[in-house]
Amino acid sequence: MLKKLLFPLVAVFMLASCATPPTTIDVSPTISLPQQDPSLMGVTVSINGADQRKDQALAKVSRDNQLVTLTPSRDLRFLLQEVLEKQMTARGYMIGPNSPVDLQIIVNQLYADVSQGSVRYNIATKADIVIIATAKNGSKMTKNYRSSYNVEGAFQATNKNIANAVNSVLTDTIADMAQDTSVHDFIKQNAR
C-alpha cells in the first residue's frame, strides 16, 4: 500500500523539479496622471500605438546553459496606448476619431540587458518611447521619452527581478510623459 502511494508522489516531485519557469514578464507599470486643464472644452484627440522594436523579446537570459527568451505579458503597443489615453483623459481631452490632432505612441526600445555570473547579476533596462502629434492643419511634433534603470543582485536574475527592472523603467518614462506639457501645448495650439 505504501509503495502504491509513494511511487506516484515521488514522480510528481521529480516532474515538478523539471518544470521550467514561465517565459513571460509581467509588465504592469505604475501609471502617473497629469493635472486636469480646465480650459479644455470638448477637444478630442485620436490615439493609436505601434511597437517598432526589432525583437519582441524583453530580455534574453542564460538558464541551465540555454538561452531563454522572455516576452511581455501584454502587447506593449496596446499598453502604452492605454496609458496615453488615460493621461489625455485626465488632462481633460476626449478620445475619439475625426479629431483635430492625431497622436501615435511608438515603442522604439524596451529591453532588459541581463548579465549573470556565478554570484551576481546585473540588469540594465532602457526605454525609448516616442509620441508623434499630427494636426489636421499640417503641423507635426515629435517628442521622445527615454529612461534607463540599472540594478544588481546576488546569484541569478529571476523573472520577477527582470519584471521589476522593466516596470521601473516604464514607470519612470510614463511619469515623464505625465509631467511634460509639450504635447498638450501643441494640441491646444493646433486644435482650432
Domain boundaries, the chain: 39-191
Whether the Cβ atoms of residue 28 and residue 79 lie closer than 8 Å to each other? no
> What pLDDT, on a 0 to 100 scale, did the predictor assign at position 4?
61
10 Å CB burial of residue 157 (0-12, 13-18, 19+) is buried
Q: d(Cα 157, Cα 140) in Å, to the nearest integer?
A: 42
pLDDT digits (tens, 9 = 90+) for 91-144: 999 999 989 999 999 999 999 999 988 889 999 999 999 999 999 999 999 999
Cell numbers representing residue 144 in the block:
521622445
CA angle (173 as vertex; 39, 117 as ends), nearest 5: 170
pTM of the complete model: 0.85
Q: What DSSP character marks residue 118? A: S
Which of 110, 124, 100 shows the shortest CA–CA distance to 50?
110
Q: DSSP secondary structure string, 16-72? A: HHHPPPPSEE---PPPP-PPP-TT--S-EEEEEEEE--SS--SEEEEETTEEEEEEE
Per-residue pLDDT at 12 exceeds 80: no
CA dihedral 95, 28, 64, 148 (to 10 degrees): 80
pLDDT digits (tens, 9 = 90+) for 24-77: 999 999 999 999 988 887 899 999 999 999 999 999 998 888 899 999 999 999
Q: Which helix (H) or strand (E) holds 180?
A: none
* Domain 39-191, CATH number (from 3.40.50.2000, 3.40.50.10610, 3.40.50.920, 3.30.420.140): 3.40.50.10610
Tens of pLDDT along 128-184? 999 999 999 999 999 999 999 999 999 889 999 999 999 999 999 999 999 999 999
Residue with cell string 489625455 = 88
